[in-house]
Chains A and B, each alone.
Chain A
Amino acid sequence: MPSKFWGHFIFISYKKLNFIPSMSAQPINHIFLNLDKPIQDTIKIGDLELYLDGSFRPEWNATVVGEIAALPENPKGEYAETVSKLKVGDKVLFDYSVVAERKFESDGAYFTEVTKDSPYYQKFINGKGEKIFIVAMPGKITHTWSGTFSDNRGNFVHGCQGSESELSRWKSQFSFGETQQFFFTNLLDTGNGDVWKASYRDIYAKFDGEELKTVGDRIILEPIDLDIPKEVLTQMGIEVPQSTFKARLGDRAKVISAPEGSDLKVGDVVGFEEKYLEKYEYNGKNYYLIKSRRALGVWEEEDGL
């Protein structure tokens, strides 16, 4: 894979960690996937197409749809049933971690941030598996900062608590940088092309034409968007077409596909806690996935009461 530039200053390259001689080798406890493009690295704004180096933070831009390249002959274990519903060539939706899981060179001492851009909570890891956590807690006047450094076994080594400047002085003993090589953990080089290794439980759904069908224990949901009433828009002083204003319900969504044997059917409106949702986007359409046991109940509308 080619090296890429991100912005003007960050240089990253990644390489394949694993090599298997050819595709005649069958997976045993995994599924092999073919992906057109592992990282979604373009953003379209009208006719304009912008390029982004998503390999910098693959968890944000990882591809989640691919084609099955090879399946194990005799799948065993808890998720064996999932595999039996799949065949080579099926287009499937899978967990983002298949692509996003990566590790840095074993001697890489540079720390890389793995959290999203939050000024008050930061987590850094390096190639040795060492970790730094930095948290800011609101105080009476200003924030109190604390930082901990732990080794590759998770044991606390040392830390610091104080003002932002005290913490930044403590932090300066470590080296930070993005200029290091990393490996995609699940990328395999077959000699005939790359495949991605996924565990059975990573496969959530398969495409039946353009329809999405669940293959595991997850319910696939479609968000419900409601039009904001014209009266509300008028009160807000907005003079634009009403159809452009939608409110998305955050506690319920419509079932597209439910696991076999569940009490749910297509079209049911299911209630959930938002923290348990897995949000996916494909072909401009949004999907919510949720484990069956996390679905709270079914919402129905009653007439004439």
Chain B
Amino acid sequence: MKQKFTPLGKRVLVKLDAPKDRTDSGLYLPETAQKDFITGVVEMAGKEAENVSKGDKIMFASSVGVDIEVNGQQFRLIPDELYIDAII
């Protein structure tokens, strides 16, 4: 049986992209740079989140949020949309 997770408040559930190891122009990124910021796609946003919605591609600091597994897939739960740095 499949499970559904609905974030509460301003929390945002994000499906993380695979870490990028080089820039668009082909330059390799050092490991530290790969880890500072990560990108992902909003899977679901809490009722009180106003600035993002499902399908938005966002960028945020990699240290933000907790990892959560839903139906075998890994997601990141961001505690507040304020932690999102950019919608790409």
Contacts and interface: CB of A to CB of B under 8 A. Distances in A.
Q: Do A and B come from one complex?
A: yes
Nearest to B9: A293
A298 B9 CA distance: 11
Contact of A302 (B3, B13, B68): B3
B1 A297 contact: no
B3 A297 contact: no
A297 B46 contact: yes
A297 B5 contact: yes
Nearest to A302: B2
B53 interface: no
Task: For chain A, give the interface size range.
Answer: 10 to 19
B54 to A, nearest CB: 15
Contacts of A303: 1
Interface string B1-25: 1111111110101000000000000
A271 B7 CA distance: 9
A273 B4 contact: no
B42 to A, nearest CB: 14
A300 B9 contact: no
B41 interface: no
Contact of B13 (A263, A273, A297): A297
Contact of B66 (A270, A293, A295, A296): A296
For the complex of A and B, 7 pairs with smallest distance between CB atoms: A297-B7, A302-B2, A300-B4, A305-B2, A298-B6, A302-B4, A297-B8
Interface of B: 1-9, 11, 13, 46-47, 66, 68, 77
18 contacts: A270-B8, A271-B68, A293-B9, A296-B11, A296-B66, A296-B77, A297-B5, A297-B13, A297-B46, A298-B5, A299-B3, A299-B4, A299-B5, A300-B3, A300-B6, A301-B2, A301-B4, A303-B1
Interface of A: 263-264, 270-271, 273, 293, 295-303, 305
Given A302-B2, A302-B3, 15 more contacts: A264-B8, A271-B5, A271-B68, A273-B66, A293-B9, A296-B77, A297-B11, A297-B13, A298-B5, A299-B4, A299-B5, A300-B3, A300-B5, A300-B6, A301-B3
